[in-house]
Amino acid sequence: MLKTLCIAVAVSFLLVTSSYAMTKDGCGGECATCHSLTIPEANGLVKKIGVSIDSVMLSPARGLFEMLFEKDGQKGILFMDFGKKHLIQGTVFDLEKLEPIAAHKNVLPKPKQMSTIDVKNIPAQLAVVMGNPKGTKKLYVFTDPDCPYCRKGHLELKKLASIDKDVAIYVMLFPLPMHPGAYDKSRTVLETKSLDLLDKAFDGKEVPKPTKESSKQAIDEIIMFASVNGISSTPTVVMPNGTVQSGMPDAETLKRMLEVK
């Protein structure tokens, strides 16, 4: 199975050993005495990705600043190393308890966790449909063209369409805040509903700029639906019975899953 998360589960604690933990010779005291990052400075450093930093704190993992960002009404966390050269996305886990830890945990919104969704409520009219549009098996995939796991998953969806001629794959374009270029790519694909442009977007190739205001409203509706239903990572798959699964199984596994009533 392809790994999940473009946003929610990166094992960031692996990054804080060795080089991150020892940013200065003899560093072993209070990190704040040697390292600081102001909110204006943080905003200057991340301006290329189009997010607004509201708060900066030292991460529970030594060697990292934890930054609370906001974009389009969504909040999340990004990390920056003490050298201010590397931006890191994901979640820091306590290795002993195997649970997420965050300096901003009290101000982060707690997503509504759902294991199933009523598929009748999915705005499928906003999807780009791969496979057989008249297929009796309906698979819904929330995906981001700039998410590396989604790009691998897109290849599996193309394989699935080739080995199962009775599946309709509803591609719900769900650009994440940390992928600033994904929003316009998603709009363009949705404006045309072109499978060729869909492939180009997931291949990392250039696509034309969006031209219609209606595509902005459509993508925002998908983002809102995902938020309300606890979908916060890509790729996320919703089976015909409404079962929600983070991550993308391979094509053969998906085919077997779709055969289960």
Q: What is the mean pLDDT of the chain?
A: 85
Q: Cα–Cα distance between 242 and 139 in angstroms, integer?
A: 9
Based on the structure, what is the number of domains in the chain? 2
Q: Which of 4-13, 86-95, 211-220 has the lowest mean pLDDT?
A: 4-13
Domain's final residue, options 101, 130, 163: 101
Strand order in the sheet with 137-143: 128-131, 167-173, 137-143, 236-238, 244-246
Q: pLDDT exceeding 90 applies to what percent of the chain?
A: 62
| 108 within domain boundaries | no
188 within 8 A of 240, measured Cβ to Cβ = no
The pLDDT, as a whole number, for residue 6 is 53
The yes-or-no verdict on residue 98 having pLDDT over 80 is no
What is the arithmetic mean of pLDDT over 156-180? 94
What is the arithmetic mean of pLDDT over 45-64? 91
Q: pLDDT exceeding 70 applies to what percent of the chain?
A: 84
Q: Cα–Cα distance between 108 and 78 in angstroms, integer?
A: 12
Q: Are residues 160 and 94 in the same domain?
A: no
| 7 within domain boundaries | no
Residues spanned by the domain of 147:
119-259
Q: Are residues 130 and 217 in the same domain?
A: yes
How many residues can be counted in the chain? 261
